[in-house]
Amino acid sequence: MEALNVISEEHRNLWRLASAIELVAGSIEQEQRVDSEFFNSVFDYLEHFVDHSHHPKEDDFLFRLLRLRSEEAGPIIDRLAADHHEAPNELATLRAQLAAATNPAAISSFVAGLKSYAATQKRHILAEEKELLPLARAALTADDWREIDSAFLANDDPLFGSKARAEYRALFHRLVSLAPDSIGLGGHRPGTFSAGDGDVLLRVRGLESAYGRIKALKGIDLEVKRGEIVALVGANGAGKTTFLRTLSGVQPMSSGQIEFDGQNIAALRADQRVRRGIGHCPEGRQVFGPLSIEDNLRLGAYTRPKDQVAADLAKIYAMFPVLQEKHKLPAGTLSGGQQQMLAIGRALMGRPKLLLLDEPSMGLAPLLVEEVFNIVKALKAQGITILLVEQNAFAALAIADRGYVMETGAVTLTGTGRQLLANDDVRVAYLGM
C-alpha cells in the first residue's frame, strides 16, 4: 500500500497550493492587480502535474482495480473521474480569464474562477481521502496493491518516473520563486545525498557547557541513530541552540563526552568536526548577505576536494532550482524562505553524515513553514541523519522518529515523536493544548 502514502502526500501538497490560490485571490480583490507570470506558473504546474500525472495514475490503476473489487466504490469513482475529465477545461477557462483580466469586471470574474477552482480541488481531495481511500484499503487485494505500487513508484516510467518528477520539481520551484512573500511555498523534494549504514551515529554523555559562571548545559545525555530525525524541543533559553553549538565545536564544552561515528570528538576543533561529517545549519540562517548565492554554497564545501564541488553544486541546484536561477545575486536579496534553502544547501555542500538544523522555521510565513518541514522529511527519506532543534514542537515531533524535551539546560523527557505528542505535560507546556 505504499501508493497510498504517495497519493496522500500529493494531496497535502495540492491542498496547500489550493489554499495559496485562495489567499492570492483575496489579495487581488483588494489590490485589483494580477501577477500574470505567477499564475501562468501555477497553471503550468497544475496542468503538468495534476492533469498529466496525478489524475492518470489514479484513473488507470487505483480507480480501475477498485471498480472490480467494490460496487460501493463505483458511484464515488464516477464522480471523481468526472472531476479529472473536467479539470483541463477548468484550467483552460482560468487561462482565458487571466488573459482577459485587464479591467475591474474581468478581474472579478478571474477571482471568482480562482476561488471556485480551489474549492473544487479541496472538495475532490476530501472525497478521495475520506470516501475512496478507506474503501481501497478494505477491498483491494495484495496483487492489486503490487500493481498499483509498481505504477506509482516506478522510476523508469516515461510519464511517472524520475525524469517526469524532475520536470515537476522545476515547475514547482518556478512557482515558488514567483510566489508573493506573504504566501510562501518553499522548496519541495531534494535530490540524493546518502548517509552510511550502522546504528548509533551520535552518542552524548554528561555534556556540560557554560557562559562564564552560568551553566547552560547540565549533563545532557542523548543518542541519534543513523537515518533518524531526532527533535529537540523546549522553551526559549532551554539550551537547545547551545547544545547544537557545542556539538559542532563553536561553543566550548566544560565536561562530558561526544562520540560521533565511533570516535571521541570532544577535543576536535569545529573545522575538524565538519571534516568528520557534522554539518550545522544555524539559527537565523546566517547567510553571508553581500556574497553571491553560489559563493555562499561554495563556502559550505571548503573542506571538500575541489573536483567534487561542481557535482555537489548541481545537486543543490536540483533540490532548490530557485537558487540556481538567482545564483549570481547577493544572498541578502533572497526572501526568508529562500535564505533558509540556501542555509540548508550550504550545510549539505559539506556532505554531512549528521545535519544539525537549528530553528529552520523561525520567522517564516505559515505555508513556508510547512514546506521547510517537507524539505526535512525528504532529506530524511534520502538517508540524511538529522538533529532538529525547533520551537514549533508540534511540527517537529510530528515528523521525528524520537524526541527530547529540554528545560533549563537539562533533558527532562524523551520518547518517540508520537509518545511525546500524546504526553499531557508536553501538550500543555509546548503544544498549547
- Per-residue pLDDT of the chain in tens (433 residues, 90 and over written 9): 677 877 877 787 778 778 778 877 877 877 777 878 778 878 887 887 777 667 788 888 899 999 999 999 999 999 999 999 898 899 999 999 999 988 889 999 999 999 999 899 999 999 988 899 899 999 999 999 888 888 777 544 443 444 445 555 555 555 555 455 444 444 333 333 433 334 799 999 999 999 998 999 999 999 999 889 999 998 888 999 999 999 999 999 999 999 998 899 999 999 999 999 999 999 888 899 999 999 999 999 988 888 889 988 998 888 888 899 999 999 999 988 889 889 999 999 998 999 999 998 887 777 778 778 888 888 887 778 999 998 788 888 988 999 999 999 999 999 998 888 888 888 777 655 4
Selecting from 1.10.1040.10, 3.40.50.300, 2.40.37.20, 3.40.50.2000, what CATH number does the domain 200-430 have?
A: 3.40.50.300
Distance, CA of 49 to CA of 365 (rounded, Å): 25
pLDDT reported for residue 59? 87
pLDDT reported for residue 220? 94
Query: 13 and 185 in contact (C-beta within 8 Å)?
Result: no
Query: 131 and 80 in contact (C-beta within 8 Å)?
Result: no
pLDDT reported for residue 229? 93
Domain ranges within the chain, ordered by starting residue: 2-178, 200-430
pLDDT reported for residue 432? 52
pLDDT reported for residue 281? 92
pLDDT reported for residue 430? 66
User: For 102-121, how does the pLDDT look when each residue is reduced to its tens digit (9 = 90+)?
Assistant: 888 999 999 999 999 989 99
Distance, CA of 183 to CA of 39 (rounded, Å): 13
The distance between the two most distant Cα atoms of the chain, rounded to a whole number of Å, is 73
Distance, CA of 220 to CA of 252 (rounded, Å): 14
Q: Would you call 85 helix, strand, or coil by DSSP?
A: helix
Nearest to 22 by CA among 126, 116, 106, 88: 116
The CATH class that applies to domain 2-178 reads mainly alpha
Nearest to 50 by CA among 72, 17, 23: 17
pLDDT reported for residue 172? 56
